[in-house]
Amino acid sequence: MEITWSIVLAAGLGSRFGGNKQNAMLGHQRVVDWSVSTARSCCDGVVLVVNADAVDDVTISDADIVVGGGHSRSQSVRNGLEAVPPEATIIVVQDAARPGASADLYRAVIGAVQAGADATIPALPVVDTLKRVGDTPNGLEVKETVDRADLMAIQTPQAFKRHILEAAHASGSEATDDAGLVEALGGTVNVVLGELAAIKITTVKDLDIAAELMGLNS
């Protein structure tokens, strides 16, 4: 029987947000509380990774385990992975800054791994025209238009067979998401349809967008 734990990442500096976005209020609770609550509803346990100086903050959340983050996103995942109990067989990595990711999205990525995938990620089709640009003496200049037909925008939560995720992180490599490390390892990464509500909170204005998409303004 599979045992699933989630690692919720909340150790970012929030430089573009202007502060700790994980503790920003969204509706009746904080961004991090939404993310931990959804993870808990779908997983057997939750490890929350926070800034090292916040580990002893008893108000941070009701996660099962709280650990300090590292110097990078990948190192924070590794810190969280070390804290996951040995009996866990599936690991779900979620950015706390995506509080609108639903329980259905969790179940979709977990179910695909239970069915045999090494890893499963949610993604949305790219709808905007994409252009590759470069610096010139006169400012940015378009170099080429990129075919978007087989491109998708990747989200979290991302689910992994535990031994695959551990192997992907064993080298200590860095990546913007864990699926990239699995790809580099030669593992298979499946894709499920993502959700508009799983927007990543990057700026203060994103809180209003997330609240609307999550139905918190009604």
Inter-helix orientation angle 73-83/178-185, to 10° = 80
User: What SS3 state is found at 68?
Assistant: strand
d(CA 46, CA 26): 21
Write the pLDDT tens digit of every residue in 90-128.
999 999 999 999 999 999 999 999 999 999 999 999 999
Q: Tell me the C-alpha to C-alpha distance, in Å, between residue 15 and each of 25, 97, 156, 199.
A: 17, 13, 20, 18
Write the pLDDT tens digit of every residue in 55-69.
877 566 689 999 999
Residues 6+ apart with CB under 8 A from 14: 20, 21, 22
> Which sequence spans correspond to the domains of the chain?
4-213
Looking at residue 59, its pLDDT comes to 64
Q: Write down the pTM of the prediction.
A: 0.93
Looking at residue 217, its pLDDT comes to 81
Q: What CATH number matches the domain at 4-213, 3.30.70.890, 3.90.550.10, 3.40.50.2020, 3.50.50.100?
A: 3.90.550.10
Question: Which helix H or strand E contains 130, and what residues bound it?
Answer: strand 130-136
